[in-house]
Amino acid sequence: MKAPLFASDSDVKQWVLSKQHWVTPRLAQQQQALSNHSIDLRSDVLTINGIDYQLEQVTQLGPESKRVCHASRSVRIKANARSTDKSIRRQLQSSLKSAAQEQLIARADQLASFTGLQPSSVNIGSYTSKWGQCSSRGEISLNWRLIHLSNTLQDYVIIHELCHLKEMNHSSRFWALVSQYFPDYQLAKQEIKDRFAYLKW
């Protein structure tokens, strides 16, 4: 939080206390969202496309072995006694980035055809504060962490960025364009706010 240079500590404290009725429930909501959607490598559960998968540690993982098995709702990673949280995290992120590269770009192509909004390129990026972005050159970048969200929320983010190709702002015209292709955007917009914990790993 920023305060004017001339504001005293007591002024700032008094102002914060005056807003306590607004701040407290939002902090509680934020903590609940962190609890519900954080990635905990010790929990043995990993969310992919909005669905919980069992995280399995195996000692052998051949080149033909599937890391993500949709039939059994499991994700396999190679680990042994010397494996650390950092090495396991690196494995998982690499695997998920590959899955996102294939899945999200294919879906962006489909939605570009559906909307008639064609980007100059679609890339997969790594961000810790946003789900995607659209440049003035018409390039769309999607956060690989979208792989954790449901397909519906993924579609919302992709359509949101595609609409920026026509309206590079968040004006009423922009939201009208989004609602044309994603009528329930307000619900998705609210739901995705509670998934910010996925951005933090």
- pLDDT at residue number 75: 84
Name the range with the highest mean pLDDT among 58-62, 65-69, 81-85: 81-85
Residue 104 included in any domain: yes
Q: Is the pTM of this model over 0.85?
A: no
- pLDDT at residue number 15: 67
Angle (nearest 5°) at CA 92 between 87 and 93: 100
Query: Do 92 and 26 lie in a common domain?
Result: no
Query: Do 131 and 191 lie in a common domain?
Result: yes
Query: Do 89 and 183 lie in a common domain?
Result: yes
The conformation of residue 44, written as its DSSP 8-state character, comes to T
Residue 123 three-state SS: strand
CA distance 180 to 178: 5
Query: Domain containing 21: what range?
Result: 9-38
Q: How many domains does the chain have?
A: 2
- pLDDT at residue number 81: 78
Residue 161 included in any domain: yes
Q: Is the pLDDT of residue 38 over 80?
A: no
- pLDDT at residue number 112: 98
Band (185; pLDDT cuts 50, 70, 90):
very high
- pLDDT at residue number 29: 55
- pLDDT at residue number 149: 97
Residue 57 included in any domain: no
